[in-house]
Structure 1
Amino acid sequence: MRTDLAIEAFETAVEEQLIQDRPVDNGVQITEDKIDDFTLSKVVISKSAEQTLGKKEGHYWTLEVPQLRTQDEKWQKIISQSLEKVIRQFLPLSQVSAEAHVLVVGLGNWQITPDSLGPLVCENVFITNHLFQYEPHAVQEGFRKVSAIAPGVMGLTGMETSDIIHGIVEKVKPEAVIVIDALAARAVERIHATIQISSTGIQPGAGVGNKRKEISFESLGVPVISLGIPTVVDAVTITQDTLNYYLKTLGQKKRNQGKPSNSLLTSALPGSRKLTEDDQPSEEERKLYLGMMGELEEDEKRQLLEEVLAPLGHNLIVTPKDTDLFMEQAANVIAMAINSALHASLSNGQGTTVTH
């Protein structure tokens, strides 16, 4: 399963009956809050659930922001304000004080668009560490020391990114590290529509099967908060989702056949009816529509697709065609939220960024 999202790892474990869908005696606690217009899912993974979920012990918060895909500046501002609130809540959870020197690390390859989130965020982070060192009289109250680095990837530097960051931490001595990276998702609808923040650091490339040395408290000796947005999904997931949409569409059409509302013009418009699990056809109908594949469970169907696509080299990692616009917008949203969350003088305390 290619995903960096803890919420998806939990959902998959429930689907495969590896864990019960309830926050009792399974090593996982999951709760939901509302942050302004958005849903914030909070997943807490204990030591006992690490192996089952494939995620380290710690806190994983997921902010659902489907409006991030739009090109509406109003939504960019609203999302950044909500994300600021989430980061402000999360910093004390990771033992990061209000005065701590924070190093922002932008992971990824700036030459590859869907992997350029980290470097793009670093370009817009408000840097102050040098001012504290060389012009302390010019620093107003409400600012903290913030440094930033975009270390690139092993293919560009020939060095493990974790080793580069470790050297910087030893020399600069920040009290906390915030790592920004592009993630991989299991569900197409979460691409550029979800923001995850976690207390466990990150293992670069894990979601696309290219694991590098992890960046965490254990490797750096300081608290590490990771923040990312899924930008890619694999071809198996897209194929599986397409088959499911196909089945639900046929099921919905059959269920609504003959209804008077079906003759209305608006009902015939694409996307006018939302597909749900209730639209899933019966087992007999699935077999009729898809033959032998219609009899398979979701995990069996996925395994079959992997067996078909992987040997042919067709299990590609895919990103939306408008990813360049999405990446720039997402980077601006994250940078604004980080700036306001780290520097009290850039926020009014309610999650609203003040324009200077």
Structure 2
Amino acid sequence: MEFLKPLQTDLAVEARENIVEQTSAPISGLHVENDENDEDVTITRVTIDSDQAQQMVGKPKGIYVTVEAPGLRYKNTPLSAKVMNYVAQELAKLLHVSSDATILIVGLGNWNVTPDALGPRTIDKIVVTRHLDDLLSPELKGGVRRVCALAPGVLGLTGMETAEIIKGVVAEVKPQTVIAIDALAAASSSRVVTTIQLSTTGIHPGSGVGNKRFGLTEDSLGVPVIAIGVPTVVHASTIAMDTIHILQEHAAFARYFKSLETLSDQDQQKVIRQVLPDILGDMMVTPKEVDRMIDDIAVVVAGGINQALHPNIDYENIHMYLH
């Protein structure tokens, strides 16, 4: 059976959903675990550990965890705190480093372009401690890892590939793990700035929007790379698909889309992909409130990282402890 590739997406959960829609047969080496104990937050863990699953899903072997909370689209401080805790818990499970390990956190993206600024804005909120070894109080040592952070910019701003910059820093700092933060592309508009993905496979900056750069992976950097990303854009064809589905379900308009009822989602995707390029090309779409949403989600991502890396610190009072 020939599988239709999913709409451009960096989310493994969406790539897996696309395959499931096309076949009910189990896929060897593809394991999914859902945690829906919280009515506000859904956690999905996708593990890819076979060549077959890797080829069918279109994602490298590894573990992918998504934390989804539709309410993040709105200003909701209690929910943000809850998601922050979930991110910290899931990140702690993926980290395999000692309590005195050095961690390099990299915020990828262009700080001048809001939908691509998640990485740099998150870095602004990371608690860096590598320079404080001799200043931390005895009760904090052992529960505070040596953390350093960098927002290297993008090729168009620096004239250097991001991977080149990070390779040089890794060679000098010698971290045990790199955590790379980046904005992603989704295949579902409902997941824009409401979903956080953590993975053990590293990251390929710009891949979700068709602008592939050199990857930041364990193979390229020589140390494990954990990627944390949030979808901030969707492809224009996704908006078209969502619109068609809504109109098909709306009684007043359903009769106009009667002919499309016989087409599967995959066939509808093919039609849209054939029609849109001449009109919209590779246009990417982002919410009009993206500036506020990026700031809010950056706080959540940074808070989750801080809690996972510094488990013995009361996050609410962390600045008091370190100054």
Q: Conserved in 1, the CA contact under 8 Å of 2:67 and 2:83?
A: no
Q: Conserved in 1, the CA contact under 8 Å of 2:30 and 2:50?
A: no
Within the candidate set 289, 292, 297, 1:322 is matched to 289
* Residue 87 of structure 1: aligned partner: 91
Q: Conserved in 2, the CA contact under 8 Å of 1:35 and 1:82?
A: no
1:336 aligns with 2:293: no
Q: Alignment partner of 1:178: what SS? A: strand
CA offsets 1:91-126 (integer angstroms, 9 cap, x no match):
1xxx33332210000000000001000000000100
1:163 aligns with 2:159: no
How far residue 70 of structure 1 moved from its aligned partner, in angstroms, is 1.4
Q: Conserved in 2, the CA contact under 8 Å of 1:196 and 1:227?
A: yes
How far residue 52 of structure 1 moved from its aligned partner, in angstroms, is 1.3
* Residue 29 of structure 1: aligned partner: 31
Aligned ranges 1:148-187 → 2 under 5 Å = 148-187=149-188
The higher radius of gyration belongs to 1
* Residue 128 of structure 1: aligned partner: 129
Aligned length: 309
* Residue 8 of structure 1: aligned partner: 14
C-alpha change, 1:137 and 1:188, in structure 2 (3 Å) is closer
Question: What code does the residue aligned with 2:15 have?
Answer: A
* Residue 43 of structure 1: aligned partner: 46
How far residue 217 of structure 1 moved from its aligned partner, in angstroms, is 0.5
CA offsets 1:19-75 (integer angstroms, 9 cap, x no match):
x464xx522000112475522111000232111111000000111111211112222
Q: Conserved in 1, the CA contact under 8 Å of 2:106 and 2:180?
A: yes
Question: What code does the residue aligned with 1:56 have?
Answer: P
How far residue 316 of structure 1 moved from its aligned partner, in angstroms, is 1.2
CA offsets 1:210-252 (integer angstroms, 9 cap, x no match):
11111010101111000011110011011111110111122xx
Structure 2 unmatched ranges of 5 or more: 1-6
Question: What code does the residue aligned with 2:279 have?
Answer: L
1:54 aligns with 2:58: yes
* Residue 267 of structure 1: aligned partner: none
**2-structure distance, mates of 1:315, 1:212:** 17
C-alpha change, 1:123 and 1:21, in structure 2 (3 Å) is farther
Normalised by the length of structure 2, the TM-score is 0.90
Q: Conserved in 2, the CA contact under 8 Å of 1:96 and 1:223?
A: no
C-alpha change, 1:35 and 1:182, in structure 2 (3 Å) is farther
Within the candidate set 76, 84, 98, 1:72 is matched to 76
How far residue 204 of structure 1 moved from its aligned partner, in angstroms, is 0.8
Q: Alignment partner of 2:181: what SS? A: strand
**2-structure distance, mates of 1:345, 1:292:** 60
Question: What code does the residue aligned with 1:3 have?
Answer: T
**1-structure distance, mates of 2:311, 2:317:** 10
Q: Conserved in 1, the CA contact under 8 Å of 2:197 and 2:229?
A: yes
Normalised by the length of structure 1, the TM-score is 0.82
Say what the alpha-carbon RMSD is for the aligned residues. Answer: 2.0
The more displaced of 123-132 and 80-89 is 80-89
* Residue 96 of structure 1: aligned partner: 97
How far residue 157 of structure 1 moved from its aligned partner, in angstroms, is 1.5
C-alpha change, 1:242 and 1:108, in structure 2 (3 Å) is same
Q: Alignment partner of 1:4: what SS? A: coil
